[in-house]
Chain A
Amino acid sequence: RSELTNLIKTIRNAMKIRDMSKCLEEFEQLCRAFLKSKTIVDKEGMPPFYIRLLSDLEDYLNQLWEDKEGKKKMNKNNAKALSTLRQKIRKYNRDYETEIASYKEVRLFAMTTQDGRFLVICCCCFLANNTYQVFGNIFVTFLSQSPGDCGNRIEVERHTSEKKKEDRKKRHKRKERVEEEAEEEAQEEDEGEWEKVKGGVPLVKVGNQMFAKGTEINTTVVVKKLNEILQARGKKGTDRAAQIELLHALANISNENILGEGILVKIKFNIIASLYDYNPNLAAFMKADMWKKCLDCIDELLDILFNNNNIFIGENITEDSENLAIIDSQPFRVRGCILTLVERMDEEFTKIMQNTDPHSQEYVDNLKDEGRVCGIIDRLLGYLETKGSTEEVCRVYLRRIMHTYYKFDYKAHRRALGLQGETKSEQDAEESEGEDSAFIMDRLCKFIYAKDRTDRIRTCAILCHIYHHALHSRWYQARDLMLMSHLQDNIQHADPPVQILYNRTMVQLGICAFRQGMIKDAHNALLDIQSSGRAKELLGQGLLMRNMQERNAEQEKIEKRRQVPFHMHINLELLECVYLVSAMLLEIPYMAAHEFDARRRMISKQFHHQLRVGERQPLLGPPESMREHVVAASKSMKMGDWRTCHSFIINEKMNSKVWDLFPETQCVREMLVRKIQEESLRTYLFTYSSVYDSISMETLKEMFELELPMVHSIISKMIINEELMASLDQPTQTVVMHRTEPTSLQNMALQLAEKLGGLVENNERVFDLKQGVYGGYFNRDAKRHNFC
């Protein structure tokens, strides 16, 4: 059997290159092989692939024979072979006439005439499911490849494993066969080997013939037709593209016949719904043309709704109570929810953005649609504000907020800086007419706070509001809102998308604090996200590589769906840099102050990790990456060398990598320099105070380029906090050291004493246990704490 298939393969190849002598040779071999396997064939019946070859070969030869010119071009050998082969196959095929005839009939067609007005689809259901899939694939590719092609044929046969290969081959040659098919399409019979089942719901309808000629087209008929079409929805084997076409056709018909907006709205709803249905898979995203169609449809629908005040739509209008016909003074009532459609559209948009490569032109093109999406949401918002219930308004507000919160409002920013005016073109001025996004956010969010009943929408709104505040450097509002909302306490119970939003908000809050110079707040806000080392995952900006045991394919799909589209991403490098720099500003003075403290705790583990990585490097070149810059800066800061530190933190590379990403770059840089100077001064005093007997503040001022009052205040603060054992000598403006810091040996001894204390306590615990006073130790400990 495999011999047969191999021979067939070579014959087909020979056919393709018009090598007749080869063809003849192979054919003779094939006949012999077939005779050999006669016994099996008798038992099992004719193998279908054999029949197919015979039939195809004959057709092919006939075609060649008729092609006189081609024959002339052929060399003698080939021509001779052709004629003999033709005669042979004629004789041979006579034995299998019935089989071949039935084979030809069973070919199925999907024909679209040139004007594309009607569509004939013959769908076949198959015995095996996998065949169905194969068919589906072929079918879809067909449609997408050549929608206007005049004759497309899909062949499907009862499936055997060999046939799969053959099928693929067939597709290559489809073009050649198209002519023959035109003649053969007529008769149909059911018999023998070739089983044909008409499956699915046949949608054999022809444009205008959708209704019998002469039928009066009125509302009821159209509705009936609509229902008929809709019944096929969701069924196996229904061609979804064709369904959409049909619905469009129906919409046109109803338009032509002026059946009123009610029915049109109804049809539009269904078109959009079936557009959404087009992808059976939840993970797949819409194709670009589908998406465009969908947007257009929703736009049109909204147009209709705006133009006709007398249309009521709602989910709770039942099918029966719908009112679609034009009856004077009676408003239309249509079942359907525009809000759900728009929400779905928004989700589809997110999905498209998720599935587009963010660094391609395609992404930019897709992103341009964001304006349209926003426009639609805005229009819907206007519509629902007049008509919808509060819940619906809340939902649409949230959509609006979701599209606003992450965008930096450059207009408002410029206006705040007072740059508006002469430099602007007219168009810009026109743009700035619009409300500040801050006001919009405020209005929408406050409405939601007041009216919303579901907790989720309110949580999201609060988070977005905070994010927006933070993005625009309104630190105090953002912080107060965060604290008032008490979200920190129960965010772990929220669903993952909300948690991602929360993480994004926290990060934005931290970055905002940093810009405002609140280093400690910034560090605290970013600590949770950064210390986990999974910032990327926590912010929904990409999946971490993990071994497959931890998550299966299903989970991965779910996680992929949660990802935030690229244009909303927070720059991870910026985030890390902000975190590391704030950790540096906190940690370095702390380290200097507690050099010998046994109980010294790390403020930031990650920062220490970076430092260690830096130390491990065998050869220290000039810093390249952002992390190396920060590590190098930390090292120079440890020495109290603020100038080097400054040059490491703020330079060309870091500017382009990090600092230029802030809107108020200059302010941030100035703030940073000041902070570096101050903290370097502190570090310097901690590290080198043991070397000085006294030091003049004037000198310190010059060393760190700070104003004298500033130096004075920093030193005073250190003295008050008992960090620096010194006193200020007012008349001479000097700091006099008291030299009370223990030497390193003394420090060691102190540490040892402490450790021994711990050891003794532990030992006592063992003793307690032996004595049977279980917990006696802990009680005593608790008491001691109380005294403290």
Chain B
Amino acid sequence: MATRKETPSTPTAPMASTSPGATLDSPVKQIQIEGLVVLKMIKHYQEEGQGSEVVQGVLLGLVVEDRLEITNCFPFPQHTEDDADFDEVQYQMEMMRSLRHVNIDHLHVGWYQSTYYGSFVSRALLDSQFSYQHAIEESVVLIYDPIKTAQGSLSLKAYRLTPKLMEICKEKDFSAEGLKKALIGFEHMFEEVPIVIENSHLINVLMWELEEKCTVADKHELLNLSSSNHLEKSLQLLMDRVDDMSQDIVKYNTYSRNLSKQQQQKHQYIQRRQQENAQRQTRGETPLPEEDVSKMFKPPQPPPRMDTLLIAGQINNYCQNVKEFTSQNLGKLFMAEALQGHNS
């Protein structure tokens, strides 16, 4: 709390801070997270998230210059089938109102989500992040990876949709042409925002003290050599996505084949019509009336490209994960070998 620089001059209402000019380049360059938020998220997952289940919550904070400060958060309750009529918006509003009463930042600045082996690039995430960013310009999504965290290093990432993608989502134009025009590839869908975790000085001091006391042996997760389990899972997920990708490609293939076939037919039809008209003219008859060709040949429905893009993004994500993991593990293995050689 101490680090929060609350200057009265900065506009506290985030909605007011969004000027049209600011939309072009991202208003947030850096994210500063309170240690409390991190701990709350981790706790939330530990208590409610099991296996591949995902937990979600709301981030609260405010924007200071080009820095987004996240100072608090609260979880969404887990959905069960019983309370289908549960009103999320209502719940959020009430929660924020209550928090305001106890003098906690109550401005909505995004949301967080846990992930299972990095499988978070999905349509649902895109849609909700879009709606967040649409309503509140500076919103971010924090992705917390509990599995990586369990391996010894905290994994927390903040993402935002790129302005280009925001444009496209706004226009709901997910066709191949639209995406091409906007020059959107899977790399350009999300932008990662650097994160800084801030704590009060007292906590920092405590941390230093703990560091002193703690021995290396206590951090044994870091040195875990087993890799196959994690890799297998990742590969399995990766494979599933690759399958999806293949299917999408096949779909696209059939689509383009149908399209070209139809083009041919259309062409033939026009030619025939022209020939007939020419014949009729020589015979002195009136030419046949022009018909609306496009009505006769309805172009096939193009498959939506967005899903494919998302899958590609997800695959990319998996690959990054695997790469990271393997390089770390290789390092560990070499180290272990060296140690063994040294001991013997």
Listed in ascending order, the chain A residues whose CB lies under 8 Å from chain B are: 743-745, 748-749, 751-752, 755-756, 758-759, 762-763, 765-766, 769-770, 774
Query: Does B231 lie within 8 Å of A745, measured CB to CB?
Result: yes
B249 closest partner in A (C-beta): A762
Which residues of chain B are near A765, meaning CB under 8 Å?
249, 253
Complex contact A745–B252 (CB within 8 A)? no
Inter-chain CA distance A769–B155, complex, in Å, is: 43
Chain A nearest Cβ from B333, distance in angstroms: 14
Question: Are A755 and B239 within 8 A (Cβ)?
Answer: yes
A-B contact pairs, 29 of them (CB 8 A): A743-B228, A744-B228, A745-B228, A745-B231, A745-B232, A745-B235, A748-B232, A748-B236, A748-B239, A749-B235, A752-B235, A752-B238, A752-B242, A755-B242, A759-B242, A759-B246, A762-B249, A762-B250, A762-B253, A763-B249, A765-B249, A766-B252, A766-B253, A766-B256, A769-B253, A769-B256, A769-B260, A770-B256, A774-B260
The residues of B that contact A745 with a CB separation of less than 8 Å are: 228, 231-232, 235
Interchain residue pairs A-B with the least CB separation, the first 6? A762-B249, A748-B235, A755-B242, A745-B228, A759-B246, A769-B256
Binding site for A on B (CB under 8 A): 228, 231-232, 235-236, 238-239, 242-243, 245-246, 249-250, 252-253, 256-257, 260
Known interface pairs A743-B228, A745-B228, A752-B235; A758-B256 also in contact (CB < 8 Å): no
- Once A748-B235, A769-B253 are accepted as A-B contacts, the answer to whether A755 and B228 lie under 8 Å apart by CB is no
* Across-interface contacts of B228 in A (CB, < 8 A): 743-745
A752 touches B253 (CB 8 A): no
In the bound complex, what is the Cα–Cα distance between A749 and B245 (angstroms)? 17
Interface contact A755-B246, CB-CB below 8 Å: yes
Across the interface, B249 reaches (CB within 8 A) one of A744, A751, A752, A766, namely: A766
* A779 → chain B closest CB, angstroms: 16
Which residue of chain B is the closest to A751 with respect to CB atoms?
B239
Residues of B contacting A: mostly: helix
Which of chain B's residues has its CB closest to A758's CB?
B246
Hey, which chain B residues are within 8 Å of A756, CB to CB? Answer: 242
Q: In the complex, A765 Cα to B255 Cα: how many Å?
A: 12
Most B Cβ at <10 Å: residue of A743, A755, A756: A755
CB B164 to nearest CB in A, in angstroms, measures 24
Do B249 and A759 touch across chains, with their CB atoms under 8 A apart? yes
Residues of B within 8 A of A758 (CB): 246
Identify A769's interface contact among B231, B239, B250, B257, CB under 8 A: B257
State A214–B236 Cα separation when bound (angstroms).
Answer: 106
**Chain A residues in 8 Å Cβ range of B235:** 745, 748-749, 752
A560 CB → nearest B CB, Å: 44
Residues of chain A contacted by B246 (CB below 8 angstroms): 755, 758-759, 762
**Nearest Cβ in chain B — how far from A363, in angstroms?**
52
Shortest CB-to-CB span from B122 to chain A, Å, is 20
Q: Which residues of B contact A744 (CB under 8 A)?
A: 228, 232
Contacts A762-B250, A766-B253, A769-B256 given; indicate if A755 touches B232 (C-beta within 8 A): no
> Could you list 13 further interchain pairs (A-B, Cβ under 8 angstroms) beyond the known A749-B235, A762-B250, A766-B249?
A743-B228, A745-B231, A745-B235, A748-B231, A752-B238, A755-B239, A755-B246, A756-B242, A759-B246, A762-B246, A765-B249, A766-B256, A769-B257
Which residues from chain B contact A752 at a C-beta distance below 8 Å? 235, 238-239, 242
C-alpha spacing A769/B260, complex, angstroms: 9
CB distance from A599 to the nearest CB of B (A): 13
Residues of A within 8 A of B242 (CB): 752, 755-756, 759
Q: Of all chain A residues, which has the CB nearest B231?
A: A745
Interface centre among A745, A748, A766 (most CB of B within 10 A): A748
Bound-complex Cα distance A288 to B95 (A)? 84
Distance A758 CA – B239 CA, assembled complex (angstroms): 12
The chain B residue with its CB closest to the CB of A766 is B253
Docked pose: A763 CA to B242 CA in angstroms: 12
Complex formed: what's the CA distance from A749 to B228 in Å?
A: 11
Residues of B within 8 A of A749 (CB): 235
What is the distance, in angstroms, from A18's C-beta to the closest C-beta of chain B?
70
With A and B bound together, what is the CA distance between A756 and B243 in angstroms? 9
Give Cα distance in the complex from A769 to B258, angstroms: 11
**Residues in A whose Cβ lies below 8 Å from that of B253:** 762, 765-766, 769
Task: Say how far A745's CB is from chain B's closest CB, in angstroms.
Answer: 5
- Cα A476 to Cα B253 with chains together (Å): 50
Assembly CA distance A452 to B120 (angstroms): 73
Q: A399 vs B222: C-alpha distance in the bound complex, in angstroms?
A: 85
Bound-state CA distance A101–B85 (Å) is: 81
Check A755 against B243 for contact (C-beta < 8 Å): yes
Q: For residue B259, which residue of chain A has the nearest CB?
A: A769
CB distance from A772 to the nearest CB of B (A): 9
CB distance from A771 to the nearest CB of B (A): 12
User: In the assembly, what is the distance between CA of A774 and CA of B260, in Å?
Assistant: 10
Q: Which residues of A contact B260 (CB under 8 A)?
A: 769, 774
- Alpha-carbon separation in the docked complex, A748 to B242 (Å): 13
Which A residues lie within 8 Å of B238 (CB)?
A: 752
Q: How long is the Cα–Cα vector from A748 to B250 in the complex, in angstroms?
A: 23
Give A749 Cβ to nearest chain B Cβ, in Å: 7
Closest Cβ–Cβ distance, residue A764 to chain B (whole Å): 10
Check A759 against B245 for contact (C-beta < 8 Å). yes
A756 to B241, alpha carbons, bound, how many Å?
11
What's the least CB distance linking B234 to chain A, in Å?
Answer: 9
Q: How far is the CA of A759 from the CA of B257 in the complex (A)?
A: 18
Q: How far, in whole Å, are A748 and B240 apart by their CA atoms in the complex? A: 12
User: Shortest distance in angstroms between B315's beta carbon and chain A's nearest beta carbon?
Assistant: 10
In the assembled complex, which residues on chain A have CB atoms less than 8 Å from the CB atom of B245?
759
A752 vs B232: C-alpha distance in the bound complex, in angstroms?
11
Q: Which residues of B contact A755 (CB under 8 A)?
A: 239, 242-243, 246
CB distance from B94 to the nearest CB of A (A): 39
Shortest CB-to-CB span from A85 to chain B, Å, is 75
Interchain CA distance A756-B246 in the complex, whole Å: 9
B250 neighbours in A (Cβ, 8 Å) = 762
Min CB distance, A741 to chain B, in Å? 15
Q: How far is the CB of B268 from chain A (nearest CB, A)?
A: 16
Task: Give the distance to chain B from A644, nearest Cβ to Cβ, in Å.
Answer: 31
Determine the distance from Cα of A501 to Cα of B198 in the docked complex, in whole angstroms: 83
Smallest CB-CB separation from B228: which chain A residue?
A745
Q: Which residue of A lies closest to B236 (CB)?
A: A748
- Assembled-state Cα–Cα distance A118/B224 (Å): 110
**Interface core residue of B228, B238, B246, B260 (most chain A CB under 10 Å):** B246
Chain B positions within 8 Å of A751 at CB level: 239
The smallest beta-carbon distance between B172 and chain A, in angstroms, is: 25
Given the complex of chains A and B, what is the CA–CA distance between A766 and B249 in angstroms? Answer: 8
What CA separation (Å) do A206 and B243 show in the bound complex?
Answer: 89
**Nearest-CB distance from A346 to chain B (Å)?**
55
| Nearest CB on B from A58, distance (A) | 77
User: What are the residues of chain B within 8 A of A766 when measuring CB–CB?
Assistant: 249, 252-253, 256
In the complex, which residues of chain B have a beta carbon less than 8 angstroms from the beta carbon of A770?
A: 256
Nearest CB to that of B227 among chain A residues?
A745
Q: How far is the CB of A356 from chain B (nearest CB, A)?
A: 52
Distance between A462 CB and nearest chain B CB, rounded to angstroms: 45
Residue of B with least CB distance to A749: B235
Residue of A nearest to B246 (CB): A759
Q: How far is A770 from B243 in the complex, measured between Cα atoms in Å?
A: 23
Q: Give the chain B neighbours of A774 by CB distance below 8 A.
A: 260
A759 to B239, CA, bound (A): 11
For the complex formed, measure the closest distance between the CB of A132 and the CB atoms of chain B, giving whole angstroms: 58
- Chain B residues lying within 8 Å of A759, measured Cβ to Cβ, are 242, 245-246, 249
Shortest beta-carbon distance from A390 to chain B in Å: 58
User: How many whole Å from B69's CB to the nearest CB in chain A?
Assistant: 42
Closest B residue by C-beta to A759: B246
Measured in the bound complex, the distance between the Cα atoms of B245 and A759 in whole Å is: 7
A716 to B195, CA, bound (A): 63
B119 shortest CB reach to chain A, Å? 16
In Å, the complex CA distance between A242 and B245 comes to 80
Cβ of B303 to closest chain A Cβ, rounded Å? 12
Residues from chain A with Cβ under 8 Å of B236 in the complex: 748
Residues of B within 8 A of A763 (CB): 249
Q: What residues on B are CB-neighbors of A769 within 8 Å?
A: 253, 256-257, 260
Complex CA gap A743/B227 in Å reads 13
Give the complex CA separation of A756 and B253 in angstroms: 17
